[in-house]
Amino acid sequence: MKKYLLLALISFSLFSCATKKEIIYFQDIDALNSKSIEQPFEPIIETNDILYISIYSIDSKAIAPFVKGREDATATNTNANPSLDGYLVKKDGSIIFPVIGDIQVAGSTRAEVVDKINKALSLYIKDPVVDVRIMNFEITILGEVNQPGVFPIRDERVTLPEAIALAGDLTVDGKRENITIVREENGKRLIETIDLTSSDFFNSDFYYLKQNDVIYVQPSLKGVKKSGFIPDVPALLSLFTIVLSSIIIITR
């Protein structure tokens, strides 16, 4: 009886410890050394995105009719609150542009949208300069991170490691081999599981995050125990120690 109880105590002690393999990121990172990047990233505009479009020209009066809500404007960036001048991408993938009307933008990169607007404006304005930004590019990070929340991305380019850094890194109880990313794309919801202990995800379509991605870090078994769903190992060890001591005293 004593032998079995002792074995149980040793087993619980071993299971309560996290291994090096469970904690360290990118454990085979050497495999990526000097390897060329296979997929350059450029955000794709989608329905429900809000675009901020700036127009510039030598002739400031000529651009006024094309500046949303600013008939007397010289450029859209003069507005103190640019969110009021955002262009919502409608369900049909278009935006309504002053004077020009509907312009299809969904499924295009920012550079492609700039080119479309430039060509349309060139019929009215000499040498227009256009800049397009995605105003609602943000990601949501939940679960076992130190600072969960919604994070706006100004330069519209963020990788999964960068996103985790924005959230203050994973907690010790974060399950590094089971990071869930939820993404909406072309009217479908995609779910991917990423293993941060392996470098394979560097070539994944989910290495670069897209606007409105949701990242969830699952808790490890240790984290679940801390939440109270599973009895804590130290508490169980204390209980077994008391029971074992009682048995030893009784059998003497």
The residue length of the chain stands at: 252
Name which CATH class applies to 20-41+137-219. alpha beta
Q: What's residue 9's pLDDT?
A: 47
Q: What's residue 6's pLDDT?
A: 47
Q: At 55, give phi and psi (nearest 5°).
A: -125, 135
**What is each CA distance from 48 to 28, 42, 94, 111, 215, in whole angstroms?**
39, 18, 10, 19, 20
The model's pLDDT over 163-204, given as tens digits with 9 standing for 90+, comes to 999 999 999 889 999 999 999 987 789 999 999 888 888 888
Q: What's residue 234's pLDDT?
A: 61
Q: What's residue 61's pLDDT?
A: 87
Q: Which two tokens stand for residue 232?
A: 């804590």
**For residue 250, with 0-12 CB atoms within 10 Å meaning exposed, 13-18 middle and 19 or more buried, which class applies?**
exposed
List the domain boundaries for the chain.
2-17+227-251, 20-41+137-219, 50-134
Alpha helix stretches (DSSP H) within 64-213: 110-121, 160-166
Top mean-pLDDT range of 38-42, 73-77, 140-144, 240-244: 140-144
Residues near 22 by beta carbon (within 8 Å), at least 6 away in sequence = 176, 177, 197, 220
The model's pLDDT over 231-243, given as tens digits with 9 standing for 90+, comes to 555 655 665 566 5
Q: What's residue 169's pLDDT?
A: 94
Which residue in 58, 207, 42 sits closest to 113, CA to CA?
Answer: 42
In terms of CATH architecture, what is 50-134? 2-Layer Sandwich (3.30)
Mean pLDDT of 54-59: 89
